Amino acid sequence: MISVTLAGAAVLVPVAGCSSDEPASGKAPQAATVSPSEEPTETAAEGHPFTGQPYEELKPVLAVKIENTSAGKPQLGLKSADIVYVEQVEAGLTRLMAIFSSKIPAKVGPVRSARISDLHLVPQYGKPAFAYSGAQTKMLPYIAKAPLYDVGDTRNPGAYFRQPGRYAPYNLFANTKKLLSGAPKATKAKDVGFTFGDAPAEGGVDKKSYTVRWPAARFTFAWSEAKKQWLIWQDGKKDMAAEGGQLGAPTIVVQYTKTERSEFHDFHQSYTPLVHTTGKGKAVVLRDGKAFTANWERESEETGTTFTTESGEPMNFAPGQVWIALASRKPVTP
């Protein structure tokens, strides 16, 4: 067991998470003190801190909660995200939080509600713009105190619209230019712990596919040599983008975490999970058709998450989009 300080309270976090091979077919955080005027120190020669790819200038960070059940698909804008988190929510389902900065799509959605785990993830990005559609009433004061600019549908309603051809609540989309106009001082992209470059010379195991399970959801990542990406399936179906084509990324991180019951629940009395993303743990990093066993560490909510090889060297990601699946070894519905 590892003692970790989370949101001002010491908790015990075991090194834990959930995965298997398969063919493709509660506690609220405290606000961090962040100066929005702080400028990142990265230069263009180093590659973008979120993707490792070339860039002309660092831009503000926009975090968006996005639906990923079948009723909300296909999603719009995910192809442009720098980082996509898969988080467990009520009833063992999952939801996405997409991080945009290097490339901002014109529109994104369906936009869905915030969860307490989001507020533990966003402080590492400084004070980003945070787009969501509502939250449990008890959680609203914590959102107000969190290190973020609230550009949700109640605070910035002019940025949202109902997409024709879809039904509520899966038809709420957002104009990203209007979202960011509501957060003119949002922190620009900065180091969040990632390193990019060549894969480790040793330690990788060839994998055609890798499956991660939650109590009521399943993601399979299957390597495409032609596309140099791990193509994504959810619950046995291809995860397609509204822009066309199947979703996929050159790097997939399965970050094994502890998931427990938070103090929040919905009107069905289904409790919201709290996913612990500070401390230390194990991970599997998928890149170049191989799976690498890795370690992750995040000292505090204001610092980024570093990934290292078993020998302690930086676990480089392949340049491009990164998906981070926050999973548990033994899937549990709190």
- The one-character DSSP state at 116 is H
pLDDT tens digits, one per residue of 24-63: 334 444 444 444 444 444 434 479 999 999 999 999 999 9
Strands 149-150 and 129-131: parallel
**Predicted confidence (pLDDT) per residue in 226-250, tens digit:** 999 999 999 999 999 999 999 999 9
Q: Is 140 helix (H, G, I), strand (E, B) or coil?
A: helix
Span 183-220, pLDDT tens digits = 999 999 999 999 999 999 888 999 999 999 999 999 99
pLDDT at 321 > cutoff 80: yes
pLDDT of residue 268: 57
Residue 15, pLDDT above cutoff 80? no
pLDDT for 119 = 93
Write the class of the CATH domain 2-23+44-327.
alpha beta
Query: Taking the domains of the chain in order of start, what are their residue ranges?
Result: 2-23+44-327
Distance CA 109, CA 218 (A): 21
Q: Which two tokens stand for residue 23?
A: 């063919």
- Residue 16: φ, ψ to 5°: -145, 180
User: Who has greater pLDDT, 332 or 222?
Assistant: 222
Q: Is the pLDDT of residue 289 over 80?
A: yes
Q: What angle do CA 318, 220, 195 make, to 5 degrees?
A: 20
What would the two tokens of residue 41 be?
């120190």
What φ, ψ does residue 264 adopt, rounded to 5°? -100, 150
Alpha helices in the chain (DSSP H): 116-121, 140-145, 176-181
pLDDT at position 269? 57
- Each residue's pLDDT tens digit, 118-159: 999 999 999 999 999 988 788 899 899 999 999 999 999 999
pLDDT in tens, 59-111: 999 999 999 999 999 999 999 999 999 999 888 899 999 999 999 999 999 99
* Percent residues over pLDDT 70 in the chain: 82
What does the pLDDT read at residue 39?
45
What pLDDT is stored for residue 223 in this prediction?
Answer: 98
